Structure 1
Amino acid sequence: MNYGFETLAIHAGQDPDPRTGAVVPPIYQTSTYAQDAVGAPRLGYEYSRSGNPTRDALQECLAAIEGGRVGLAFASGLAAEDALIRTVCAPGDHVIIPDDAYGGTYRLFAKVAQRWGLTFTAAKISHPDAVRAAVRPGQTKIIWVETPTNPLLGIADIAALAGIAHETGALLAVDNTFASPYLQQPLGLGADVVIHSTTKYLGGHSDVVGGALITADAGLGAELAYHQNAMGAINGPFDGWLTLRGIKTLGVRMDRHCDNAERIAEYLTSHSAVAQVLYPGLSEHPGHETAAKQMRRYGGMISFRAAGGEAAALRICERTRLFVLAESLGGVESLIEHPGRMTHASVAGSALEVPADLVRLSVGIETADDLLADLEQALG
């Protein structure tokens, strides 16, 4: 039976415990497992780096809600990214990344993978022709996409980039963290693998760190699973259990995130202290039509540029009361940050440096009027 998203989020991989009938799957907080004979582990479990029932439940759920066949849970989003790079690429290979990629992703390529012999090009992923021009035939192994991007909220046409990737022998990897599987499902649009920081909307409560890879290709999934075990940056059982708990309410939370963000984006567009609002739900956003085509709604992330420059942006970040000044995103509580000095400090001085007057909001699920009032006093 083809179940709806919310049903899968609550039930996929989460049948009641067969021994006790517990409705919520237990936390298997164990490192090792008794074997019935030498080399004969029960149900295939022998050591929790290689397999754990709680992590398996999460991985099955992740695959289901992204429309994939294989889901893999990692210790963080960057651990998932590293496993993908080392599975697909070898020294001398090339990757295309967004020209406004997340600072941690840029750091992984520029400071870690590049020393290992991988090269990369930052391209404007909202322009398929720019991506095509950046491809190095026979050398480009991954076209790496964020959509929406972090922190400039750029939108990539997933189907168009999938076509380019497959024409040129590359894989299309889509970081779906900002959208979440509820708002966007890249595998159905032609992507080969989806990346998540499950710390964000999937966990949803700012109390757990994790990452994930999901693919519809069983062969690629097996290769990724091999590297997950061989490299060892796995998601622990308690972290996995917390993430599963968060996923159950993902759909209803995302609807509220979107409701609040849409109101705040409209408010910011008319405020004299704001020079520009970056939100794909606005009709004037250059990626609005593409987002409308491939997303259910436009998400809970908003960036804007302060009319008074960097000093004004810093002042706004420091004056909010409900919007907590903190890194990360996707939790039930609203957050505000200055990307240039916080999450994207690692791209300072590079071609990916973000504007100094940029402010990023992770709009939570509080009462919208209270959030608007907080921004009003901070902007004033």
Structure 2
Amino acid sequence: MDFQTRCVHVGVNKDGTFNSCTTPIYTSSTFYWDNLTTHRGFDYTRSGNPTRRALEENIASLEGGTDCRATATGMSAIHSAMFLFKPGDHIITGHDIYGGTFRLFYSVLTEQGLEFSFVDMQDLDNVRKAIKPNTKGIWIETPSNPLLRVVDIAGICGIAKQAGLTTIADNTFLSPYLQRPMELGVDVVVHSTTKYLNGHSDVVGGAVVTRDKERSERVAYIVNAIGQGCSPFDAWLVLRGIKTLGPRMEAHQKGAIELARFLDKHPKVERVYYPGLETHPQHALAKSQQKGFGAMLSFDVKGGRPEAERVLNNLQLFQLAESLGGVESLVEYPETMSHASMTLEARRAAGISERTIRVSVGIEHPADLIAGMSHALNKI
């Protein structure tokens, strides 16, 4: 089936009693057994739930994985995936990753014995040079958050395969509609389903997709053991949202490219970060490994924090809020919001400054978005 057809139909036909056209929400916390040794596939919702399983089947199909585990949040998906490693293992990751991921790696998992190197992964030589005898994995985030840097996924996977390393990619920014890392060699894909998969800013959730049986079994064991599974109602909300993933992403992209082109020509904007612009340094790479360029962009205003604050305080239509991927357009300030958990030194090393503003472009009409942004920029 075509991708969009799978969005609508995989994981849906679960009701053999009444033939419901949508997946039922199984709110039960427990399921009774037929006898002391057999049951109908589910015994306790922490371990597994029919609604959650339907979502997992859907996401696994879209990403091209063997299996999937849906979790309570995007961060719980990342944390669950990191249990593929053991104390003493070294993981290479980008220097410009999402602030919450940086905090988990830098402040939490290091206390549990994992070691991380944060490098500029745009240059594959940096990745090669970072490999140590105890290196076990590479964490890929592309495009990166918030500066939309693009990493050569196939190139990274080639390095990892040669060294016997596990590759994990965060595909939240593009969704499987626009990018499928497993087709480029990635072993594990994670998502914050809060974002584009759900698409309506009314649920938090995550997913870990695996391509081989051994890792699938390990992730399933961990999600159950530490109680990371998402609730049945949240799973149902995400499954409902995925049905419109394709049309939504097309609408998102239409607005994003028009807004990016507007910002790129504005006299009060210093730089725009959007891979869809031909001036983006990784435009050709993004075009080669992505179906489209997505709806996330960032830009630096000319000046500093006062000018950025003036823009943020005078926006029309855009809502000042963290998160992304909903049908409404959001704008946020990485310095004090999404990346505040990074150290100041790490933010500056990644290129995040007091001039940087991140935008999640919704599905509103592009002309209205441009008018709202123009109003704010003209207040500088």
The TM-score normalised by the length of structure 2 is: 0.97
Equivalent residue pairs, number = 375
Secondary structure of the residue aligned to 1:111 is: helix
Structure 1 residue 321, shift from structure 2 partner: 2.0
Select 1:202's aligned residue among 173, 197, 202: 197
Q: Determine the C-alpha separation between the residues in 2 that align with 1:105 and 1:294.
A: 23
The structural deviation recorded for 1:16 is 5.2
Is 1:85 the counterpart of 2:82 in the alignment?
yes
Secondary structure in 2 aligned to 1:315? Answer: helix
1:52 matched residue in structure 2: 49
Q: Deviations over 1:232-275 (max 9, x none)?
A: 11110000000001100000000010010000000001101100
Task: Tell me how far 1:375 sits from its aligned partner.
Answer: 0.4
What is residue 22 of structure 1 aligned with on the other side? 20
Equivalent residues in 2 for 1:1-380, closer than 5 Å: 3-15=1-13, 17-41=15-39, 43-86=40-83, 88-137=84-133, 139-353=134-348, 354-380=352-378
Cα pair 2:3 2:62 within 8 Å, conserved: yes
The Cα of 1:156 is off from its aligned counterpart by 0.4
The 1:169/1:288 distance shift into structure 2, 3 A limit, reads same
CA distance in 2 between partners of 1:127 and 1:247 (Å): 34
Deviations along 1:98-130, one digit per CA (max 9) or x if unpaired, are: 110100000001111000011101011111111
RMSD: 0.9
Deviation at 1:39, TM superposition (A): 3.4
* Structure 1 outlier segments of 4+, above 3 Å: none
1:239 is paired with a residue whose SS is: helix
Letter in 2 for 1:39: T
The aligned amino acid for 1:329 is: L
Deviations 1:166-220 (A, max 9, x none): 1111111110000110000000000001010000000100000000111211221
How far apart in 1 are the matches of 2:121 and 2:168?
12
TM-score, with structure 1 as normaliser:
0.97
Q: In structure 1, how many angstroms separate the alpha carbons of the residues matched to 2:251 and 2:135? A: 39
- The 1-side partners of 2:27 and 2:102 are apart by 34
2:218 is paired with a residue of what secondary structure?
helix
Specify the SS of the correspondent of 2:344.
Answer: coil
How many Å separate the matches in 1 of 2:38 and 2:44? 12
Question: Quick one: percent identity of the two aligned structures?
Answer: 48
Q: Which runs of 5+ in 2 are unaligned?
A: none
| Unmatched tracts of structure 1, length 5 or more | none
State the alpha-carbon separation in 2 of the partners of residues 312 and 370 from structure 1. Answer: 22
**How far apart, in 1, do the equivalents of 2:137 and 2:71 lie?**
20
Q: 2:87·2:113 contact (CA, 8 Å) conserved in 1? A: yes
Q: Distance in 1 between matches of 2:346 and 2:337?
A: 17
Report if the CA contact (8 A) 2:347-2:353 is conserved.
no
Q: d(CA) in 1 for partners of 2:26 and 2:244?
A: 22
Q: Which amino acid aligns with 1:247?
A: I
Is the partner of 1:361 in helix, strand or coil? strand
8 A Cα contact 1:154 1:287, kept in partner: yes
